[in-house]
Chains A and B, each alone.
Chain A
Amino acid sequence: MDSLFVQAFVYLAAALVVVPIAKRLGLGSVLGYLLAGLLIGPWGLHLVGAEGGQDVMHFAEFGVVMMLFLVGLELDPATLWRLRGPILGLGGLQVLGTATVVAGIALALGLPWQQAVALGLILAMSSTAIALQSLAEKGLMKSDAGQKSFAVLLFQDIAVIPMLAVFPLLATVTVAGGGEGEGHGASFVDHLPAWQHGAVVLGAISAVVGAGRFLVRPAMRAVAQTGLREMFTAAALLLVIGVTLLMSLVGLSPALGTFLAGVVLANSEYRHELESDIEPFKGLLLGLFFIAVGASIDFGLLLDGPVKIVGLLVGVIGVKIGLLLALGRAFGARRDQGAILAVALCQVGEFAFVLFSFAGQSGVLPDDIIRPMVAVTALSMAASPLLLAVNERFVLPRLVTVKAETRESDVEDEHNPVIVAGYGRFGQIAGRFLRANGIGVTGVDVDSELMDVLGKFGQKVFYGDASRLDLLRAAGAGTAKVLIVAVDQHAKAMEIVHTARKHFPHLTILARARGRTEAYELIDAGVEEVYRETFDTSLRVGADALRALGVHAYVALRGARTFRRYDEQSVRELAALRNDQAKLVSTARERVSALSTALQADLRGAHGFGDHAWDSETIREGLGLVPPSEASAAPEPAHEPDATTEA
């Protein structure tokens, strides 16, 4: 127990120290975890041994399983069906192509063909964990490169199964302990004849789909009725672990099984609940997994034969990148998307660890090949976040339609007074409006596809991440007057705001906020104007609904204005209180009831906020012509608590 706590302490502490630093340096969290692993591993502070690291890695692989479940939840069956072309075509060709090229090289280096084929198949694998985590962190999952990466990774997951079946046939080395593998290899179906094996596998898949469709919903409803939050978490974990067990039992990849379960549940009303329950486990386990990978990197081998290891590393990555670039192009990816795809998948993945150990046990590969290749695998996983960062910073800007060189000079010449960070559906409207008024606008966005579309309409937008100081400077933040932050990811928006506030304090910042909470944070960070993205539109809908109910248009308009003024004022007031939860709630209640009192008074025809001049009734009362009415005697609305109002 003590040692478990000590281990947990070491891992968590390492992650907490290193990951924020890595993130701060723009290296991404994956590289941070890997570095944390290096730090505590046998080649760093030696707080965990190589063996311990291996054990933890096997345990933490469950994080990958959870990640695939979450990916499945985001992907409903229709979308998955749409992706069948890329999955089979692109994925299939990636695995076959990489295997063929690697095997060819291995043959040329004098390996027997069986070993060459096994090596090729293993090295064709990419790391789902690293690729998806990195792409998601950069907000690229929905991009062309993200979708294609995902398709390839999914195919690789499927391909592991036949590989495990084929490996024993490739055995060239006699193994002392016999051919029975562990983990993915061991299942009771291995002893069945092929048709029964197939039937069991099909049955298991049907069971997952069927249960997802017909069993999970009622079960979740029953769990929800208990009203206990931890029951939901338990149910979600049970679901994922159950599917994992079932899949292992029939010799399928657990990741694939949970992915399938996720897809089946993608349209269910419990999707978000499941997501938020599994997410933290996934995050921690994946982090643990990356740390374990970092700790398991064998620097001894690297020091013994640095040329050999580095050569292998460069060779493997080179082959994978080259092939992916070609395939990406063949499948219609634009150059920059192809580059992201190639670099995202250039590492050898976590499945390789499993496959190498299986290959060792079943006598396919000798130990003197496996050991350096495992080191290469780990190093390639460590290298790929770095390569992604390099790609993003130095390669992509050159590939995008607007070239980096011309960008610099253009910006210099233009001296645009306005920079719009995030030129999607939000930023675009502001940008178009400004341009229509003859104001020069420098648009910056990370979505290069969007840029092409905009380019066709003569709208120039630059590629880049506006949270980076050098990019903001290149975009002319030094001379601009206004910065519009219109990106849709709140964390990104906050980064941009912090960078701009710190280095370009003269800029007036107008920022898009998702909702109140985000608005509070932006106000806290010193943003002058904050715009909740749906506020104005929904208020207009509300006013139009009033009109549809027969309220006079001008009264409805004024009501909406009043509401808006009060609401915006309250956001500012509450922003100051947001760390004091109790005060926040009570103040929010007060504001809501005050506003409601005032608006209702307005509708009743009494003066809510100062329409006295248009209210002849007040004058009649003032002149003593009629007795004072209840409505017009209403005191200052802001101090009038109203028990009937919902807070």
Chain B
Amino acid sequence: MSHGSGERGTTRLRAAPRGASGRVLVLVAHPAMHRSRVNRVLASSILGIEGVTVHDLYDAYPDFDIDVKREQALLLAHPIIVWQHPFYWYSTPAILKEWQDLVLEFGWAYGPGGHALNGKTFLSAITTGGPDTAYQPGGYNRFTIRQLLAPIEQSMHLCGIRTLPPFVVHGSHRLTDADIEHSAVGYRRVIEALRDGRLDPDRLDGPSLAAATLTDSILAPGA
């Protein structure tokens, strides 16, 4: 279970309690959450939801001293894994790289006998400074988000984890409070749909999973 509920937006993000379990594990990584405009609101919007464990990595390991056993236990206790973070240098904040290096162990997550995570589902929930138009061939950033996320997608693939199209909030610097709130509502819908198994992975193959595109078309039939 995730943390006790609090008022939205004011609740401080925290490390998940030891032994937490549920359907969705959201690993939040933002080194300065108090300065974040978007990530804080996104994370707050899913705090306290039934079946969703929110785990602030920078709160759990302020000195990067990651407790591997604890992280592996959290992974085993949730079928769906979400990374929520700003898109720093087309990648994750440093602690998520450290997390990968340490937690996804050879012989456990991959390699001979490394099947612990087989069959799980992975979602990147990221915020970018640039607008969506920048992330395309010929654009400022030349590649799509999904292309830039290829190393992560491949890492997950190596661990037998299926990667969904990323949930992206673009142009975070220019968003109004209302825009952010709108994104947060969409984010919550995505997380809830994931939790309830209403997202149909087979219908999801787009470049990204923006809130606006989260229509009934991608919900599993009959859900």
Residue of B nearest to A607 (CB): B105
Within 8 A of A (CB), among B109-133: 111-113
Is B7 located at the chain interface by the 8 A CB criterion? no
Q: Which of A125-133, A207-215, A475-483, A609-617 contacts B (4 or more CB under 8 A)?
A: A609-617
A613-B112 contact in complex given A618-B106, A619-B106, A622-B107, C-beta closer than 8 Å: no
CB <8 Å contact, A612 and B112: no
Are A612 and B63 interface neighbours, CB within 8 A? no
Q: Does B69 contact A (CB under 8 A)?
A: yes
Chain A residues positioned under 8 Å from B107 (CB to CB): 612, 618, 622
Indicate with 1 or 0, residue by residue over B65-109, a CB within 8 angstroms of chain A CB atoms: 100110000000000000000000000000000000110111110
Q: How far is the CA of A85 from the CA of B175 in the complex (A)?
A: 75
- Inter-chain CA distance A609–B105, complex, in Å, is 12
Cβ contacts under 8 Å, B69 to chain A: 610
Does chain B have a CB within 8 A of A334? no
B106→A622 contact, CB < 8 A: yes
Partner of A623 from the list B63, B101, B105, B111 (CB cut-off 8 Å) is B111
B31 → chain A, closest Cβ, in Å? 17
Q: A622-B111, A622-B112 are in contact. Are A610 and B65 (CB under 8 A)?
A: no
Chain A 574-592: CB-based contact to B (< 8 A → 1; otherwise 0): 0000000000000000000
Out of B63, B65, B104, name the residue touching A613 (CB < 8 Å): B104
**A614 touching B101, Cβ below 8 Å:** yes
Q: How far apart are B159's CB and chain A's nearest CB, in angstroms?
A: 13
Q: Give chain A interface residues in 528-570, CB to chain B under 8 Å.
A: 558, 561, 565
Instruction: Report chain B residues within 8 Å CB of A618.
Output: 106-107
* B68 touching A610, Cβ below 8 Å: yes
Q: How far is the CA of A289 from the CA of B65 in the complex (A)?
A: 58
* Known contacts A561-B63, A611-B102; A623/B68 CB under 8 A: no
CA distance A561 to B105 in the complex (A): 20
Instruction: For A610, list chain B residues within 8 Å (CB).
Output: 68-69, 102, 105
Total interface residues in chain B, CB < 8 Å: 14
Q: Is A612's CB under 8 angstroms from B105's CB?
A: yes
Kindly state the separation between the CA atoms of A618 and B106 in the bound complex, as whole angstroms: 8
Q: Within the complex, what minimum Cβ distance (angstroms) separates B63 from chain A?
A: 7
CB closest residue in chain A, given B111: A622
Closest partner residue, chain B, to A616 (CB atom): B106
A609–B106 Cα distance when bound, in Å, is 14
What distance in Å separates the Cβ of A529 from its nearest Cβ neighbour in chain B?
A: 14
* Most B C-beta atoms less than 10 A away, residue of A611, A612, A623: A612
Identify the closest chain B residue to A558 (Cβ).
Answer: B65
For B111, list chain A residues within 8 Å (CB).
Answer: 619, 622-623
- B65 contacts which chain A residues (CB < 8 A)? 558, 561, 565
Chain A contacts for B101, CB-based, 8 A: 613-614
CB distance from B52 to the nearest CB of A (A): 27
- A613 neighbours in B (Cβ, 8 Å): 101-102, 104-106
Q: Distance (Å) between the CB of B96 and the closest chain A CB?
A: 14
User: A614 CA to B112 CA in the complex, in Å?
Assistant: 17
B76 to chain A, nearest CB (A): 15
Q: Output the least CB separation between A57 and chain B (Å).
A: 61
In the complex, the chain B residue whose C-beta lies closest to that of A611 is B102
Max chain B Cβ within 10 angstroms of own Cβ: one of A610, A614, A618? A610
Cα(A549)–Cα(B103), bound, Å: 30
Among the listed A558, A609, A611, A623, which residue makes an inter-chain contact with B112, where contact means beta carbons less than 8 Å apart?
A623
Measured between C-beta atoms, what is the minimum distance from B78 to chain A in Å? 20
Please name the residue on chain B nearest to A609 by beta carbon: B68
Q: In the assembly, what is the distance between CA of A69 and CA of B125, in Å?
A: 73
A558 to B66, CA, bound (A): 11
State A613–B112 Cα separation when bound (angstroms). Answer: 14
Contacts of A595-614 to chain B: CB distance below 8 A: 609-614
Q: How far is the CB of B157 from chain A (nearest CB, A)?
A: 18
User: What CA separation (Å) do A558 and B105 show in the bound complex?
Assistant: 18
A619 contacts which chain B residues (CB < 8 A)?
106, 111
Residues of B within 8 A of A (CB): 63, 65, 68-69, 101-102, 104-108, 111-113
Q: 19 A-B contacts, Cβ less than 8 Å apart?
A: A561-B63, A561-B65, A565-B65, A610-B68, A610-B102, A610-B105, A612-B105, A613-B101, A613-B102, A613-B105, A614-B101, A618-B107, A619-B106, A619-B111, A622-B106, A622-B111, A622-B112, A622-B113, A623-B112
B-binding residues in A (CB < 8 A): 558, 561, 565, 609-614, 618-619, 622-623
Pairs of residues from A and B, 8 with the lowest C-beta to C-beta distance, nearest first: A610-B68, A613-B101, A612-B105, A561-B65, A619-B106, A622-B111, A622-B107, A613-B102
